[in-house]
Chains A and B, each alone.
Chain A
Amino acid sequence: MKKLIYKFALLAALLVLMNWIYGKFFFKDDLLKHSDEVELAWQVTNDSCVVVYTGESSNHTFSWKDKDQRKISDFIFDHFPGLRCGDMTKDASHAEVYYYLLENIPEDSPVKTVIVTMNLRSFGYGWIESDLETAVQKQLVLLKDYPPFFNRFMLAFKAYDIKSIDERGDAREWHRKHDKITFPYPFKYDNVDDWDYANAHQGVILDGKWNQPLTELACHYIKTYGFQIHENNPRIKDFDNIVKLAKERGWHLIFNLLAENVDRANELVGSDILYIIRQNRDYLLNRYGNIENVTVVDNIGDVRNGLFIDKNWTTEHYSEMGRRTIANHVAQAVSNYYPDIYVENIAYDIPKNHYRKDLGFDSLTVCSAMPYGLTIKGRPADIDSNCEKVYISSRIWKEENSAASAIVMELYKNGAKTHFSNLPLNDMTDATGMWDFTTSVLPIDSTFFDANEFRIFLYNPTDSPIHIKSLDVSFEYDDYARAK
């Protein structure tokens, strides 16, 4: 036995030597081969960046129709001319990847502000157990904070979350069946699987007929957003780690909570899915929004359906205006740390059929003293005649709920009001004392196109003020649903 102990001691010494040899001669090549995202961390270090943006495909995906096809991060950095900024963008990545990338930025680097993409979908098991996750996990092994040879050993012996595509599928199904979803009001289904099943059978009706693409899309929305974030969600652990790391490094941390297609979610599934989205957003805002040096930029409801590139799936891929909207909001948060060099207004083209008013840092108060506010006016003649609906959204702050306050659309012909639609705010959000988004969709028909003018605005005849920051109107045609 003594002999064996000596031999093990010799082996241990050799392992130390191996670690040195590996670290000195092999590790860098292996990193570039198996964890190439580390180059991103090296790049921002080499570029002496002060502001760093981490993101996934949402950052760089663009529409071919975009006049400016640059990234969200580039649009953010446009607001800070002269500041050294860089991004670390890797498709399919999430908070765990961001953590290891950020950890690989040397402690003595000049980085001061870190913007981390917070993708709501990444908290769901649809993403946590995504088919791409095994590859993502494999790429992280070498980035971990252990001796290089140990990390390579873990990689060689597949000591990471390695699952086949079938196993991932089974895991997703398990969560859909077993994760309870709860609402503060009676809800017919206990879990996402039941909800999805019922929705698939009920279907989505378009032009008076069952529409398969929209039904499938509605089911995607249920499966994608039908989860409730809890303390033990793996992504929460990752974001907690990022907060801890930022604190250790003395970074300003900005979480960029990306926009989801709440228009479509609301239109296809209804208010229940919006309730869950809001609940999860609130969880994140409450958990991270009150920490010193941490800001959560809530973009959840700020991009309209027409600006989402992928029509048949739930992604955060936006066309230029969507990326710019998010960039503007993030830039506002970053400006707190660099107020002197911040450039507030950067002009960009707004697509046809789309109208937006955004007051930036400001807001408008609407109450009985001034019951109409932030009005968007336009000419129906300027709208494509095949448009069949209008998504109207706003970002508002209510002190209390009132049945009288609403978003209103009026149509005028030759100066006379010919039509009036009223969208009560209470139906869209019951949040008080906080900024929240509203979304609604209205059909438009010949009455609309016969008019000379449309006006859309917030109406609040009560004494309780409502603050409005933005109003967004998008006229659209459901070409995706009809194309198939």
Chain B
Amino acid sequence: MLFNSIEYVIFLPIVVMLFYLLPHRFRWMMLLVASCTFYMWFVPKYILILLITIIVDYSAGILMEKYADNHKLKKRFLVISIVSTCLVLFIFKYLGFVNDNLVALCQSLNINLNTTVDLILPIGLSFHTFQSMSYVIEVYRGNQKAERNFGIYSLYVMFFPQLVTGPIERPGNLLRQLREEKKYEYDNISKGFRLIIFGLFIKMVVADNVGAYVDMIYADPNKYNSWDIILGMFFYSFQIYGDFFGYSTIALGSAKLMGFEITDNFNTPYLTKSIAEFWHRWHISLSTWFRDYVYFPLGGSRVKFGRWAFNIMVVFVLSGIWHGAAWNFLIWGAAHGLLHIIEKAILNHLPEKDNRGKLEKIVVDAFKIAKTFILVTLFWSLFRATSFANISDLFTSLVNNFNTGEHLNVANNIWVYLGLFILIDVLLYNSRFDRWCDNRPAVVRWAIYFVLVFMIIACSSVNNFPFIYFQF
């Protein structure tokens, strides 16, 4: 079920009403049924894959707790759990990629290998496997008690607001809340609706509308003028941001309606002065996951520069591959890692300058923000491109077509939507839409709701753009 579908518009209020009408002890059951329904709306059989992961990690959690004193055995259960979860991920997400590359390699060596793997990636597999893994790791580390109730554990993995594209939750946050008794509070309903409306606005009005132009550019980059290629890249930065931020915000709002507080996934990521800061503000739940479960165990930053650079590259390459089983994602991740290292290396050799005047500081900060945004935008083209040939066409046209090529005829209203989004994003710096609204007078709040609701319905794209992160 998509958040921006009529099915969800009907589904969510029913679930919220049932949630508050049912006694606390039955709520998890209802939420589990609702989550299964939500997931099975896409392709019902995929739930079996999810079930395998749930059973393995649920059992591993209990066994690790049972054999808490036997470190060797405990570690073995952890390894079994992680390997089996990763195996599921590997089979459905990476086997085809590995096979294709192996076949290509064999062909180049004149070895006859002609196998094909044609498995469809279950929706949200990367998200819920990571969520599931965080549970077993936390139990192993002793930070989390093993969940005995299979239903509640299943709900932790399958909680519908964040099931298919995150945020990737931690047991310390979500599992705890699933056991808590949530009381009806007007504030939760109000904030939940605010977040949903805002999320729908940035997804349906901003991301989907600019997405139509992005599709045109990337479908045939050779056709367009260099300025329009730049425009297409710029639009994609806002499409992917609006799309993913929108989805995460709707997820936050949906959970908030029932009193659940799930992790913020974004914090004005394009107003950042470095790649490192960008990753502190973009897809926060994934960044922190890699930080806690990969980067820190590798030694984090408390190591020599060379080792640190290696750690960074491991994290970013893994992050790239996490997004998709293709070379362009790997290169995208590596590019971010490399840039992160270069930035740090330069900073290490530059003296700190604290005596800048206010204006100078603003100019320097603006330059840094612009630089980071341009680099991130350039890298997004690796993310968006359909093939290496597509990337090559894009950059060739970018360089060569300044005096040739067609011009993209962008409707004026697109600039209005984008301008409004950028304005709101700047206003929300280090804040969140629901909290930001708290500090506005009721008239202003309702005026904002009016404009947003009106725009969601009257100005949304009528084309069908699935959420970009669904593919992961």
Contact = CB atoms under 8 A, between A and B. Distances in A.
Contacts of B190: 7
A297 B189 CA distance: 60
A156 B204 contact: yes
Interface in B439-464: 446, 449-450, 453-454, 456-458, 460, 462, 464
Contacts of A149: 457-458
A341 interface: no
A158 B5 contact: yes
B359 interface: no
B259 to A, nearest CB: 14
Contacts of A156: 4, 204, 456-457, 460, 462
B446 A157 contact: no
Contacts of A138: 462
Contact of B9 (A3, A4, A157): A157
Interface string A1-31: 1011001001100110010011000100010
B189 A157 contact: no
A206 interface: no
A3 B453 contact: no
B4 A22 contact: no
B454 A159 contact: no
Interface in A298-340: none
A440 to B, nearest CB: 48
Contacts of A157: 4-6, 9
A148 to B, nearest CB: 9
Interface in A156-193: 156-159, 162
Contacts of A4: 186, 189
B334 to A, nearest CB: 33
Contacts of B458: 18, 22, 26, 30, 149, 152
B435 to A, nearest CB: 19
A153 B457 contact: yes
A152 B464 contact: no
Nearest to A21: B454
Contact of A14 (B2, B450, B456, B462): B450
A4 B457 CA distance: 22
Contact of B454 (A3, A22, A30, A34): A22
A158 B464 contact: yes
Given A3-B186, A152-B458, A159 B6 contact: yes
Contacts of B204: 156
A131 to B, nearest CB: 14
Nearest to A14: B450
Contacts of A152: 457-458
Interface in A124-158: 138, 149, 152-158
A226 to B, nearest CB: 29
> Chain B interface secondary structure, helix, strand, loop or mixed?
helix
A405 to B, nearest CB: 58
Given A154-B6, A157-B6, A159-B6, A18 B457 contact: yes
Interface string B226-264: 000000000000000000000000000000000000000
Contacts of B189: 4
Contacts, number: 51
A468 B460 CA distance: 59
Given A157-B4, A158-B4, A18 B186 contact: no
A196 to B, nearest CB: 24
Contacts of B4: 156-158
A165 B449 CA distance: 36
B5 A18 contact: no
> Chain A interface secondary structure, helix, strand, loop or mixed?
helix
Contacts of B462: 34, 138, 155-156
Contact of B450 (A18, A22, A159, A162): A18
Interface residues of A, number: 25
Interface string A25-42: 010001000100000000
A34 B461 CA distance: 10
Contacts of A1: 184, 186
Nearest to B460: A156
B6 A158 contact: yes
Given A10-B446, A152-B458, A18 B453 contact: yes
Contacts of A34: 462
A18 B454 contact: yes
Contacts of B184: 1
A4 B9 CA distance: 18
Contacts of B464: 158, 162
A3 B186 CA distance: 8
A1 B17 CA distance: 12
A432 to B, nearest CB: 52
Contacts of A22: 454, 457-458
Contacts of B2: 158
A18 B449 CA distance: 12
Nearest to B8: A157
A21 B450 CA distance: 12
B342 to A, nearest CB: 43
A158 B462 CA distance: 8
- Residue picked from B189, B190, B458, B464, most chain A C-beta under 10 Å: B458
A14 B453 contact: yes
Interface string A214-248: 00000000000000000000000000000000000
Nearest to A22: B458
Interface string B269-291: 00000000000000000000000
A1 B6 CA distance: 25
Nearest to A151: B457
Interface in B175-189: 184, 186, 189
A281 to B, nearest CB: 37
B185 to A, nearest CB: 10
A129 B320 CA distance: 39
Contacts of A18: 450, 453-454, 457-458
Contacts of B186: 1, 3-4
Contacts of A14: 446, 449-450, 453
Interface string A419-455: 0000000000000000000000000000000000000
A158 to B, nearest CB: 6
A155 B6 CA distance: 9
Interface in B155-214: 184, 186, 189-190, 204
- Residue picked from A11, A154, A157, most chain B C-beta under 10 Å: A157
A4 B16 CA distance: 14
Contacts of B460: 156
A158 B467 CA distance: 14
A159 B2 CA distance: 12
A234 B424 CA distance: 46
Contacts of A158: 2, 4-6, 464
A152 B456 CA distance: 10
A46 to B, nearest CB: 26
Nearest to B184: A1
B55 to A, nearest CB: 30
Interface string B55-76: 0000000000000000000000
A95 B426 CA distance: 50
A154 B462 CA distance: 10
Interface in B13-46: none
B171 to A, nearest CB: 32
A158 B7 CA distance: 9
A82 B185 CA distance: 71
A402 B127 CA distance: 74
Given A11-B449, A18-B453, 9 more contacts: A1-B184, A7-B190, A10-B446, A14-B453, A18-B458, A22-B457, A22-B458, A138-B462, A156-B462
Interface of A: 1, 3-4, 7, 10-11, 14-15, 18, 21-22, 26, 30, 34, 138, 149, 152-159, 162
6 contacts: A10-B446, A14-B450, A18-B450, A18-B454, A34-B462, A162-B464
Nearest 9 pairs of A and B residues by beta carbon:
A159-B6, A156-B460, A157-B6, A153-B457, A18-B454, A22-B458, A152-B457, A155-B462, A3-B186
